[in-house]
Structure 1
Amino acid sequence: MQHRPVVAEESAGTGADRRRLWWPAALAAAVALGLGVPALVAGGPDASGSVSSAPAQESAEAGFARDMATHHQQAIDLSFIVRDRTQATDVRGLAFDIINTQANQRGMMMGWLDQWDLTQHSGTKPMAWMKMDHQYEPHDGSLMPGMATNTELAKLRSLSGQEAEVYYLQLMIEHHKGGVEMAQGYLDTGTNAVEKRLAQTMVNGQRSEIDLITGMLAERGAKPLS
């Protein structure tokens, strides 16, 4: 996957050190793609050594892959927006890490759908696979929990400098909270061992990054939206 140029410099200090921890996740995702993990999930031996069939069109496996791929794409979009609106090395470094990590994970999920011979879009509502008591109601372009609305995206595009940094960080915390909810939902309902390992990676990584981003907001005299 080819990305637009992104500044990779990082500021010195604890925050920069913590951001470097995201590189192994991005590298692992890229290596997994190269080693053919999607093929393992699509029809190869599962964790017990037996051969599993491809998931059904409306299964939790397919639903999670589709919805999280969509969710990840917006995180990538948000990160490209802020990259062009600030010169702060810590925020640009964070955006760079999110772009790379989530693009790699998104590629894995889309690859699974392709090898399962399933469509990348479903006729059902987003997150129907989670079977929640109260389904999320899409509004103003926000299709799933944590996703920014069209109005919020327009506001981020209108800002620059520290105002853009703060708003991006606030939106990304909400985005990660929604992503964690979705990944945990698959951990609770899914059966595919490889896909569950990826979901657990998302839960662990995004929870850690929420703590990091909260600290970055505090450095700017700001707090999360909720």
Structure 2
Amino acid sequence: MHQRDDDIYASAPLRRLLDEQTRALRPELQRCHGMHGLLLRACGDDRPPALPMLRCWTSLHLDGAGYGGDLRAAANEPLPFVDDAFDLALLRHVLEVAPNAPALLDDAVRILAPGGVLVLTGVHPISGWAPWFYWRTRGESRVLQMPLHLGHDLRQAGLEIECMQRVGRAWPSQERPGSARGSAFGGGYILIARKRRRMATPLRIKPVPVTVPSNGQLSPGARRSSAS
């Protein structure tokens, strides 16, 4: 039986691609640390990765006009979190289903703490997967994101790109295992960026005039260059 269009992320090809992206990301994510991580996902049964140095996860599933999961929120409104709330934000194919992908990306940057890591995954729009993706989601408002454009937007927002590469099989129907890293024709991509830490403003120390005693001798430890 043909699966419904809105079940594309539960299809066998995309499940394989999600697994390959997870394998490619595992070494990078193991180094992430902090108190809070956020998973925004397009696949309903996707689970956060187990990271030894990250304390806890908040997981949201974007489905239609709203988010479900650990809390409920409207998709056309800002994410219900304060600024700088998360040390890691993992967006797994969610930009493909977001009603306003640029706004969601801006919001992900907003809630990311300085020094935090933003990870994006998706189907590459210039690949053998793109025709299959649009055929399976015909009638749906879905847009595949170009990772080069995403990287440019993130740099403009003050993030540093640490990794951008294609992964997985070249075609959705390919049964042979795809390369988990560095596949030039892979159907998926991963993008890792880090939010720059805020620069501390150095304090300018104002010299305090030193009064020279009448005998002309400074007290021990006083610098003559500071004397008025």
TM-score (normalised: structure 2): 0.30
More helix by share: 1
Which structure has the larger Rg over C-alpha atoms?
2
More strand by share: 2
TM-score (normalised: structure 1): 0.30
